[in-house]
Amino acid sequence: MTEYKMPVRDENSNKGSFGKILNVAGCDNYTGAAYLSSYSALKTGAGYLALASDINVIRSVSQMLPEAVYMEIPYAYRRLNEFSTVLIGCGIGKSFASKNNFKFLINYYKDKETPVIIDADGLNILSGMNIVLPANTIITPHPMEAARLLVKDIDDILKDLEGSALELSEKYNCVTVLKTHRTIICDKGNMIINEHGNSALAKAGTGDVLAGIIAGLSAQKCSPFEAAKLGVYLHSRAGEIASEDLTEYSVMASDIPKYLPNAIKELMQNDYE
């Protein structure tokens, strides 16, 4: 039976104690991805999050999420050494500028221990590059993204999900979260399959929420594999709890972070018992 434990929170602490996240996310067409990933990371317990994006995204998201800090990307580049966790890719698009930003950040962090979570458009950009990822990288592809990363047909991925997840971890030297109805979490030596979740999570934006949750746990010093494992569990369990109130039809991606406290309290109660 898989064990899940929330990271310990010391009473003698401050916002820096629980990590500083740089979230490079969003573009004009995908403002919601920047909001959902940022909100979820903070809701999971991260102490500080800076959203680095275009000015239009910043103006929009800052109205909904006053708890975050906002930076245009050139300014964020001057502060990269301040962050303990990096999330890149949620809704950044595939423009020339996004590709350059991705390459710059990966090269900056490749020789550092900083956890880097790559999601969504970051994965699509990665699939077209020959680049070494930082040592503590987590990738979060769905099967189509996995097919691009492995240069395979989608049918080949679907026929062997576990083998495909392991192949991704070996190719990119990372933790892989292969998102399906039974999400697979693996590195080169460990693999677990998450048995929670339901069709409520089959909706646009839920992947951005998951990426934010994993980043929030990484910021709180969970190892990459533990952050991925626990993040997938909390995300799927929050979706189950949300669907009990809202039905599987009516859960929105933005509802899932609101039910994270329920999933966390349930987990902590189980630990206590």
Q: pLDDT tens across 194-219, in order?
A: 999 999 999 999 999 999 999 999 99
Least confident of 17-21, 211-215, 258-262, 265-269: 265-269
Q: Quick check: is 10 in a domain?
A: no
Number of domains in the chain: 1
- Report pLDDT for 159: 97
Task: Please state, in angstroms and rounded to a whole number, the distance separating the CA atoms of residues 144 and 12.
Answer: 45
Q: Quick check: is 130 in a domain?
A: yes
Q: Quick check: is 239 in a domain?
A: yes
Residue 253 has pLDDT above 90, yes or no: yes
Q: What percent of the chain is modeled with pLDDT above 90?
A: 97
Q: Quick check: is 136 in a domain?
A: yes
Q: Quick check: is 70 in a domain?
A: yes
Q: Quick check: is 7 in a domain?
A: no
Residue 187 has pLDDT above 70, yes or no: yes
Mean pLDDT for 142-166 is: 98
pLDDT band with cut points at 50, 70 and 90 for residue 43: very high
Cβ atoms 242, 236 nearer than 8 A? no
Residue 1 has pLDDT above 90, yes or no: no
Cβ atoms 32, 60 nearer than 8 A? no
- Who contacts 238 (Cβ-Cβ below 8 Å, separation ≥6)? 256, 257, 259, 260, 262, 263
CATH number at residue 197: 3.40.1190.20
Nearest to 198 by CA among 143, 148, 241, 144: 241
Residue 273 has pLDDT above 80, yes or no: no
Q: Quick check: is 4 in a domain?
A: no
pLDDT band with cut points at 50, 70 and 90 for residue 2: confident
pLDDT band with cut points at 50, 70 and 90 for residue 270: confident
pLDDT band with cut points at 50, 70 and 90 for residue 271: low
**Residue 181 neighbours by CB distance under 10 Å:** 12
Residue 272 has pLDDT above 60, yes or no: no
- Report pLDDT for 134: 98
Phi-psi region of 84 (alpha: psi -120 to 50; beta: other; left: phi over 0): alpha
Q: Which two tokens stand for residue 136?
A: 């503590």
Q: pLDDT tens across 74-108, in order?
A: 999 999 999 999 999 999 999 999 999 999 999 99
- Report pLDDT for 26: 98
Instruction: Report residue 56 CA to chain centroid gap.
Output: 23
pTM of the model: 0.98
Q: Quick check: is 79 in a domain?
A: yes
Which residues form the domain of 170? 16-272
SS3 for 145-211 is: HHHHHHCCCHHHHHHCHHHHHHHHHHHHCCEEEECCCCCEEECCCCEEECCCCCHHHCCCCHHHHHH
What average pLDDT does the structure give for the chain?
97
